[in-house]
Structures are given as C-alpha cells and as structure tokens.
Amino acid sequence: MQEGFDRSVEQRMDALGHANEVRVYRARMKKDVQAGRVPFDTFLAQGPHDPLLRSMKIQDALRHMPGIGRVKAEKVLRAAQVSPSKTLSGLSPAAWERLYLVLESYPTVGRRLSEARGMVNAP
C-alpha cells in the first residue's frame, strides 16, 4: 500500500461505490429535469437537503435547468455574487436570496420560480 493511504481496500471500494451512486442519481435527475418529468427547480429546492445532491456545484445545477446554459449560469452567478465553486449546501440564506432575485429577472425562469420561491431555505 502507498504511503498516506490509511483506508483499507474495502473502505476504498465502498467510497467508489458511493461516488458511482451519486453520479448515477445526479445523471438521472438531470435527465428528468430536462425532460420535464420533475419540476425544473428540483436542484434548487431539494439540493440542499438531498444527501446525494448537497455537494453538487451550484453552477452545474443551474446549467441543467431549462432555459439556462453555461453562459447564462455564469451571468446569473456573477450578478448574484455567488462563486461558481459553491455547492448547493454551501450557500448562505443571503446568497440564496440573491440567486433567486437574479433568476426571477429572467423571463423564461422567473415565471416558474415565483411560486417555488419560499421552498428553498439553506440548511
């Protein structure tokens, strides 16, 4: 075993299994959001509370919402003064507030968010 690795093979395999479970779950959620099978704001509403979504980057969550791509996600985060490296569980209540205010200013997103706005509270 290499120097610095304190985990057993079994522990590493468990970690790999969990990481794969997270990737599969997120991929399925992204497809479901894009296909309209689940609400478009699922990542924002459930992400901070879902153990498999909590560590997802906020930029990645935004990019998979209908009407928001890479460029718009960057603009939204810049306008909301939120770092793209922040995770869903890492945003403060003030950052959530700023993010929602900026998202609501986009006509394609704002209409859908206005009714869901009260659902998101940072953990």
Quickly name the fold that domain 9-119 has.
Helicase, Ruva Protein; domain 3 (1.10.8)
Long-range contacts: 43-52, Cβ < 8 Å, 24+?
Answer: 43/88, 44/88, 44/99, 44/116, 44/120, 45/116, 45/119, 45/120, 47/88, 47/89, 48/88, 48/89, 48/91, 48/120, 48/121, 48/122, 48/123, 49/123, 52/21, 52/22, 52/25, 52/26
Q: What is the pLDDT of residue 51?
A: 93
Domain boundaries, the chain: 9-119
User: CA-to-CA distance for 19 and 65, rounded, in angstroms?
Assistant: 23
Across the range 107-120, mean pLDDT stands at: 57
Cβ atoms of residues 43 and 33 within 8 Å: yes
Q: What is the pLDDT of residue 6?
A: 82
pTM of the model: 0.75
* Residue 116 CA from chain centroid, whole number: 16
pLDDT band at 7 (very low <50, low <70, confident <90, very high): confident
Q: What is the pLDDT of residue 65?
A: 84
Terminus-to-terminus CA distance in the chain, angstroms? 39
Query: Over the stretch 31-66, which tens digit does the pLDDT of each residue have?
Result: 998 888 888 788 888 888 999 999 999 999 999 888
